[in-house]
Amino acid sequence: MKKIAFYMLFIALFVLGSCQQEEVPTVINCGDGEILVDDVCIKEKSDFEKTFDATDLMTNYTLTISIQQSADLYEMTMMVDGSKSSFEMDDQTEFFEKQGSMIDRYYPVGEGYRKESITQTENDSFHFFKDLEASWFQTVSGKYFLKTDYNDEVADFFQGEFPGSTVSNLELIVGDTYFEQIIFDVTVDSVMYRFTMTLSAVGTTTVTLPTV
């Protein structure tokens, strides 16, 4: 009988010891407006902030640009399809394909196209919208406007094409997932140009390179 009691005591101590060694999971309670990521509470992004992330990650879209100066209107279309892209203006279309640090450029000659390799440059003013930050904007009557403190940040993107230019009155229109339009003024040598950039066909744009 003592042997059985001793055996039961041994089993009880073993089970109790095993239970004591188990780690009790730590419960982390995040505050309002926070989410738990890798056991760390971080501020949850607003829907407005999420559109910046989604737009920055876009690799397939169509960008239509209109530039109004008094009665003159200039229009161009850029299409991006992964490593391939195209630029159309005045019924002339050029195509591009990224090849590492180089770019294959296809330009129209007569009835066909020719191809050349050019060095990729960092300056790409028409894609400046990917570098915008949500904190740069303020809400006015339900619309998003760039704070004047950041006008120079945007103007810097245009100095290659428009040296000495300034940017003002930038309005951002967002959709459910991505930016829809960016509207702003660029002033060069006292002449103001009204830019309207429209994003569309996200995920459905197709660019087919010409045969050379």
Rounded distance between C-alpha atoms, residue 28 and residue 125, angstroms: 44
pLDDT for 165-212, tens place per residue? 999 999 999 999 999 999 999 999 999 999 999 999 999 999 999 998
pLDDT reported for residue 122 = 55
* The overall pTM is greater than 0.85: no
pLDDT reported for residue 14 = 39
Does the pLDDT of residue 142 top 50, yes or no? yes
pLDDT reported for residue 157 = 87
Does the pLDDT of residue 151 top 80, yes or no? yes
Q: Which residues contact 169 (CB under 8 A, 6 or more apart)?
A: 145, 183, 184, 185
- How far from 107 is each of 1, 88, 111, 210, CA to CA, in Å? 99, 11, 11, 9
pLDDT reported for residue 10 = 37
Residues linked to residue 179 through DSSP beta bridges, in sequence order: 174
pLDDT reported for residue 162 = 83
3-state DSSP of 59-80? CEEEEEEEEEECCEEEEEEEEE
Percent of the chain with pLDDT over 70: 78
Does the pLDDT of residue 44 top 90, yes or no? no
Cβ of 184: how many Cβ atoms within 10 Å? 20
Cβ of 101: how many Cβ atoms within 10 Å? 7
* Short-list 197, 157, 206, CA closest to 179: 197
- pLDDT band per the 50, 70, 90 thresholds, residue 13: very low
Domains of the chain and any CATH numbers: 2-43 (no CATH), 47-200 (2.50.20)
Contact in structure between 128 and 195 (CB atoms under 8 Å): no
